[in-house]
């Protein structure tokens, strides 16, 4: 899908913002967005079966229903469960961004907007829309018994998992971390999970079955994190990365036991299909260095590296 054909819904109570956004998007080659001046009006648009939107820009701080509550309502709509939602906030409102991600936001944009940042953010949403379209095509092909392998993806690809609302896209996770100050990033930890034998599962299963398997694992991990504020994404290669608040350390032994218990729910199903029981390895908790010049990539990379080839979970360490 070309960006020029994408349809956006912009939700903000400030008419001046709508004017500036519409002008910038038009200059960048996008269609003018459909504008709603409140969350209630936006939900009416989204509930209308005759209105189709590819992505949503949603202001966080609005009178009445705010953007965080609106995001929850949008995610509860089956046809918008994975529609990219970019939250819009002022610099003073960035404290609400983590809350927005926790209820299903995809990315965020800071006011006042500038053309370069807007172009980059919309470009990311374009890629997510295409990825979600591919996932839906794959689902349709599976349900209609077509050749699902024609909608192929590689084992290493950080694809969107179906019916797994607790996860965000890996690209969105990276972008969120990149917008944090070094000090704020340092207050987070990254924890990686790896499906043992994931490569073998990828070879053995068709593409939709593999995605369903990874979605089962993602749901199990998310269930274990319900007492934490977290962001979780599938990173490809049978690996997941979870971002946690460093002030609330994870009891690794308790996590391992709880995750094993959550995965046992799927044992009967996998046994009936002749598949091995799900086993997930947990890596180290990794933090970023305050003076790293590539803190996010290093932090995520070392979190994933820590889980590879480990028989258990190692101690915490810092990413350079």
pLDDT in tens, the chain (320 residues): 445 678 999 999 999 999 999 999 999 999 999 999 999 999 999 999 889 999 999 999 999 999 999 999 999 898 888 889 999 988 666 668 778 887 888 888 889 998 988 998 888 888 888 776 666 655 555 555 454 455 568 999 998 887 676 788 888 888 778 777 666 777 788 999 999 999 999 999 888 889 989 999 999 999 998 887 888 999 999 999 999 888 788 899 999 999 999 999 898 888 888 888 899 999 988 887 644 446 677 888 889 998 886 544 443 444 44
Q: Can you give the pTM of this predicted structure?
A: 0.67
DSSP structural state of residue 149: G
DSSP state letter for 168: B
Distance CA 190, CA 240 (A): 10
- Name the CATH superfamily housing domain 153-319: Reverse transcriptase/Diguanylate cyclase domain (3.30.70.270)
Q: Are strands 230-236 and 317-319 parallel, antiparallel or unpaired?
A: unpaired
The H-assigned helical ranges of the chain are: 15-27, 39-47, 67-75, 97-102, 115-143, 170-178, 182-186, 198-204, 207-224, 252-264, 267-272, 295-307
Count of C-beta atoms within a 10 Å radius of residue 223: 15
Going by their DSSP bridges, the two strands 188-195 and 280-288 should be labelled as antiparallel
What one-character-per-residue DSSP string does 67-92 give? Answer: HHHHHHHHHTSGGGSS--EEEEEEGG
DSSP state of 196: T
Using DSSP, state whether 55 is helix, strand or coil.
Answer: strand
Give the whole-angstrom CA distance, residue 315 versus residue 295.
20
Q: CATH for 3-133, among 3.10.129.10, 3.40.50.2300, 3.30.70.1150, 1.10.10.60?
A: 3.40.50.2300
Distance between start and end Cα atoms, the chain: 39
- Residue 216, pLDDT score: 93
pLDDT for 93 equals 63
Q: Please, which residues bridge with residue 146 across strands?
A: none
Phi/psi at 119 (5° precision): -60, -40
What's the rounded Cα separation, in Å, for the pair 82 and 263? Answer: 24
Residue 3, classed as helix, strand or coil, is helix
Q: Are 132 and 82 in contact (CB under 8 A)?
A: yes
Provide the pLDDT for residue 247: 77
pLDDT of residue 2: 45
CA 96/CA 67 separation, integer angstroms: 10
Residues in the chain: 320
Tell me whether domains 3-133 and 153-319 share a fold: no
Q: Kindly report the CA angle at 89 between 86 and 91, in degrees rounded to 5? A: 135
Beta carbons of 110 and 91 less than 8 angstroms apart: yes
pLDDT at 1: 44
CA 61 – CA 141 distance, rounded (Å)? 41
**Beta-sheet pairing, 34-36 with 188-195:** unpaired
CB atoms within 10 A of CB 311: 6
Domain edges within the chain: 3-133, 153-319
């Amino acid at each position: 899908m070309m960006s020029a054909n994408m349809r956006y819904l912009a939700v903000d109570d400030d008419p001046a913002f709508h004017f500036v956004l519409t002008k910038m998007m038009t200059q960048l080659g996008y269609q003018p967005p459909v504008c709603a001046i409140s969350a209630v009006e936006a939900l009416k648009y989204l509930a209308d079966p005759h209105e189709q939107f590819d992505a949503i820009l949603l202001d966080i701080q609005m009178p009445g229903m705010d953007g965080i509550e609106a995001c929850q309502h949008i995610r509860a709509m089956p046809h918008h469960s994975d529609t990219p939602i970019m939250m819009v906030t002022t610099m003073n409102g960035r404290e609400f961004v983590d809350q927005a991600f926790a209820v299903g936001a995809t990315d965020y944009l800071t006011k006042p907007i500038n053309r370069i940042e807007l172009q980059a953010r919309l470009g990311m949403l374009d890629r997510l829309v295409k990825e979600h379209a591919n996932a839906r095509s794959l689902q349709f092909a599976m349900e209609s018994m077509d050749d699902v392998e024609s909608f192929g993806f590689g084992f290493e690809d950080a694809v969107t998992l179906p019916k797994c609302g607790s996860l965000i896209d890996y690209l969105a996770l990276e972008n969120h971390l990149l917008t944090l100050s070094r000090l704020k990033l340092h207050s987070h930890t990254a924890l990686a999970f790896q499906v043992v034998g994931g490569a073998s599962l990828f070879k053995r299963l068709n593409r939709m079955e593999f995605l369903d398997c990874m979605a089962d694992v993602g749901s199990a991990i998310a269930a274990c994190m319900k007492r934490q504020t977290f962001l979780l994404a599938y990173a490809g290669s049978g690996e997941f990365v979870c971002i946690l608040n460093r002030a609330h350390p994870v009891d690794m032994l308790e996590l391992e036991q709880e995750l094993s218990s959550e995965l046992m729910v799927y044992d009967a199903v996998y046994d009936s299909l002749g598949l091995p029981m799900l086993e997930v390895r947990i890596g180290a908790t990794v933090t970023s260095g305050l003076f790293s010049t590539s803190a996010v990539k290093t932090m995520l990379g070392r979190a994933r590296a820590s889980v590879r080839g480990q028989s258990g979970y190692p101690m915490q360490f810092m990413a350079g």
